[in-house]
Amino acid sequence: MSNRRSPWLVLVSSLVYVFLYVPIVVLVVFSFNSSRTNVVFEGVVNQGPCGPFYWFCQLFSNGEVLTAAQNTLTIAFVSTLAATTIGTMAALALQRHEFPAKSFSEVSLYIPIVIPEIVMGIGILVLFSTIFRFLNNALGLSGDQRLSLSLWTVIVSHIAFSIPFVTLVVRARLHGFDKAVEEAAMDLGANEWVTFWRVTLPMIAPGVLSGAMLAFTLSLDDFVITFFTNGPGATTLPIYVYGLLRRIITPEVNALSTVWIAMVLIVLLISQRLESRST
């Protein structure tokens, strides 16, 4: 029974894989389309010095796209760094220590998982606009000085939704961790800092790393929270693409998607490599 696989099961599973991949293949193929309107595939584009990669060259000379890409990466790097640090600290606290407000902390970490993202998004929008309105009035700021949504509001919000996921992953790693090793280090005269840097951190490093990867991809992928918290000049790639979808779509968007998919694949393959080496 366990080794006999019904042909129907194989067929249905293959069809589900087809369903998962057809849209992606279509996206990639159409990024080589010669038709500017990009409705029907009229043949492979061959224009300018880039030939079939015409739309990719257009993409890389498009200032708006480059700014959006830069914003996206800045937000992802900064928020990942912060969320990984904070989330790992929280995991250590929850797994190792007894302290007041512990159960409250545990519950609060579940909030972003069970509440629709849009509610979080508008909540943060209401928060920032209330604070900014208050400060602008209180300090009498005007014109360019006025505080408003920016890259920073996006970063702060991304940290908020990433922390719980980092904590979850690092805690899982700490769970199977033998405390005796740390005690041995202390017995041998290492102080707590040395023990942490030389023993604890290297042992939980794979957990911290996958937590960071998760935070990074969540930040790259995020649309809803960014949509409500980004200000002028803080457009990210998903927001940029969304804006385009409501106007005119050229194969440039497909080229952007193709580059995005290729990058994600490369990062995933590298992390798989690292993971298989570390275990």
Partner 1 sequence: MAAWLNRLRDKHSRRGLLLISPTLLWMIGLLIIPLILVIITSFGQRTADGGVIYTFSPDNYLRLVGLSRNAPCGDTPPPCFDDLYVGILWRSLVLAFQTTVLAIVVGYPLAYFVARAPAKRRNLYLFLILVPLWTNFVIRIYAWIMLLRTQGVINGIVGWVLGLLHISFTPWEMLYTPGAVLVGMVYEFLPFMILPMYTSLEKIEPSLYEAAADLGANTLRTFLRVTLPLSAPGMVAGTILVFIPVMGTFIVSDILGGRQVILVGNLIQNQFLSARDPTFGSAASIILMVMTLIVTIFYARRFGFGEEVASA
**Positions in 27-66 near partner 1 (CB under 8 A):** 27, 30, 38-40
What distance in Å separates the CA atoms of residue 22 and residue 18, rounded to the nearest whole number? 6
Q: Nearest distance from residue 134's CB to partner 1, in Å?
A: 12
Q: Following CA atoms 108, 110, 116, 119 in sequence, which dihedral angle do they give, to the nearest 10 degrees?
A: 10
Give the binding range for partner 1 (CB under 8 A) out of 46-54, 118-126, 141-149, 202-210.
118-126
What distance in Å separates the CA atoms of residue 185 and residue 164, rounded to the nearest whole number? 30
Each residue 140-179 as x (binds partner 1 by CB under 8 A) or -, in order, gives ----------------xx-xx--x---xx---x-------
Q: Nearest distance from residue 49's CB to partner 1, in Å?
A: 27
Q: Does 113 bind partner 1 (CB under 8 A)?
A: yes
Q: Of 77 and 110, which has the nearer Cβ to partner 1?
A: 110
> 57, 74, 123, 177: which one contacts partner 1 (CB under 8 A)?
123
Is residue 170 within 8 A of residue 204, CB to CB? The reply is yes
Phi, psi of 44 (to 5 degrees): -75, 130
Q: Which helix (H) or strand (E) element contains residue 278?
A: helix 251-278
Q: Does 193 bind partner 1 (CB under 8 A)?
A: no
Q: Of 26 and 48, which has the nearer Cβ to partner 1?
A: 26
Write the DSSP string, 162-180: HHHHHHHHHHHHHHT--HH
Residue count (the chain) = 279
Q: Does 73 bind partner 1 (CB under 8 A)?
A: no
Closest C-alpha among 252, 222, 217, 182 to residue 33: 252
> 69, 120, 147, 149: which one contacts partner 1 (CB under 8 A)?
120
